[in-house]
A and B are shown apart, each in its own frame.
Chain A
């Protein structure tokens, strides 16, 4: 019962490098989200997807790109990492279609440091 799985869990990048965070969910959820968590800022929505092949911008999308080529996977890309992108990144998912489908399930988080 894996739920939402994120890889990698920890990563250190140099300014200007690129990387991709992978999120995988095995619950057949339609919606997937990427949040970043910074001290005193709570959880801020970066991008989200309402289904395979769709993506949309959230509150803080600049500097990030996403793709949802498969329903179970949601990738978050940093093309040219900046120190301001040092953060903890959480992927999340939820289903649709049932009255109780609002619950968001989070992954364990990915700690990213940009130096």
Chain B
């Protein structure tokens, strides 16, 4: 199966600063990489995703970059706000374009300090 590693496990930033979370994956056939945000006591929800034929994708204050050669991808949050405080999970779709399984990283707990 796929192995997804995520760092750091915890991250504290001052409001307005940027936050970066990094993930690596092991299977070169993985081709879809979503990021989920989970607020305390809530379900994970998709915030952004990227496919293997794209190197970068941006949506307002969040962006994701992908380096297929190195098998790593990163989440970037700019101008952080207190409501960005949550646990963030990266994931990789295992098994190519028709893959059935998604493997998740261990999560990053982000705290934005007002």
Which residues of A does B touch, CB under 8 Å?
31, 33, 35, 40-45, 48, 50, 56, 58-59, 90, 102-104, 106-109
Q: Is there contact, CB below 8 Å, between A48 and B107?
A: no
Number of residue pairs spanning A and B whose beta carbons lie under 8 angstroms apart: 48
Q: Is there contact, CB below 8 Å, between B102 and A109?
A: no
Q: How far is the CA of A106 from the CA of B102 in the complex (A)?
A: 13
Q: Which of B1, B91, B102 has the most CB of A within 10 A?
A: B102
Nearest CB on A from B5, distance (A):
10
Nearest CB on A from B89, distance (A):
6
Cβ contacts A to B, 15 pairs, < 8 Å: A35-B104, A40-B9, A40-B106, A40-B107, A42-B105, A43-B91, A45-B101, A48-B100, A90-B43, A90-B44, A102-B34, A102-B93, A103-B34, A103-B49, A104-B34
Q: How many residues of B contact A (CB 8 A)?
A: 22
Given A48-B100, A103-B49, A42 contacting B89 (CB threshold 8 A): yes
Q: Is there contact, CB below 8 Å, between B102 and A104?
A: yes
